[in-house]
Structure formats: C-alpha cells, structure tokens
Amino acid sequence: MGNNGLQGEPADFNAFLTDELWEDLVTLEGTPVETITIWETSIVDEDLEEEAGAAVTEANRVFVDLDLYLANRTLLELYGAALLPDEQSDPIVGLETISETLSALVENGVYIQEVSSDEEDRLVLVLADEHDRTCLLFITGWSESTWETLPDEEAE
C-alpha cells in the first residue's frame, strides 16, 4: 500500500485497515505474545521532525517501531505505534517508559485481546495481560510475516 508518504517504508507496508486485512488480523485475537522488540528509531521520525522543527529524542519519543513475535509464529512489524493506557489517556511518552510498560505486559502473559481501527481506519491493537491490564497500540503502519527464531535465541 505504502502511499502515506513515510520515508523508507517496506514493500508490504499496510497503512489502513481494509475489510480483507481486518479479516486476516482478527484471527490473531487471543494469541499470546512471545516477545516484543522495540527499535530506538521510528519510520515516522523524519516526518515528525520536519513538522515540529525539532529532533525526536528518547525522552520525548511517543511513536515507536516494534516487532510483536506471536506464539503462532506470526511476526507483526508495527511502525509509528503510540502506546496508550486507555482510550481517554494521552500516549505514553519516553522510550524507556514505553519499553518498561511493554516489558511488564510481556512478563505477565500479554496477548492480543482485540483488533480494531480508529476513525481514520488505522490499525489499533488492544493488548491485555493475565491480570486484565490493557493498553492500546495506535499504529501508523504494519507488515505481517512469520518468524523462525526469537531475537533472544538468535544471540545465543
């Protein structure tokens, strides 16, 4: 799809949730997340820096790129994702805080509770853990593939 103007987006990049994509992704509801990898930079950084006229830093970071490694061997590569504790809250700010929040969810058995969309038909994932704590990921774009080895296993 890739027509949202982001720099360097992958060939299989999806920016909007069509009925067909939703039908595919909704099958992931209830699937546990094995691990999450968060990248230090995001595909949206350059566009944000141009808009704001200031650099995106670890301290002011709202959007992250991350990989969700699901138990069914699905890999969701999420780009420009904002993490919110709930629908009424502002996004979590700061790379360290975002990382800590997601790590805590993984440690407590996080899974995809719901696949949804926002008013612009962008993908929204509701993540929940075994203690019924939830958070929302509002996603600028994503791609889906499969994984063979978890990142932790590759280092061994």
- pLDDT tens per residue across span 119-152: 999 999 999 999 989 999 999 999 999 999 998 7
C-alpha to C-alpha distance for 28 and 10, rounded to whole angstroms: 22
Asked whether residue 4 is assigned to any structural domain, the reply reads no
Asked whether residue 152 is assigned to any structural domain, the reply reads no
Asked whether residue 90 is assigned to any structural domain, the reply reads yes
pTM of the model: 0.90
Query: Which pLDDT band holds residue 11 (cuts at 50, 70, 90)?
Result: low
Among positive and negative, which fits the CA dihedral 115, 149, 129, 10? negative
Domain count, the chain: 1
Asked whether residue 9 is assigned to any structural domain, the reply reads no
Residue 16 has pLDDT above 60, yes or no: yes
Residue 50 has pLDDT above 60, yes or no: yes
The single residue listed with the structure tokens 């949206």 is 44
Asked whether residue 85 is assigned to any structural domain, the reply reads yes
Asked whether residue 120 is assigned to any structural domain, the reply reads yes
| pLDDT in the model for residue 152 | 78
Q: Which range marks the domain in which residue 49 is found?
A: 24-147
| pLDDT in the model for residue 1 | 28
Residue 70 has pLDDT above 80, yes or no: yes
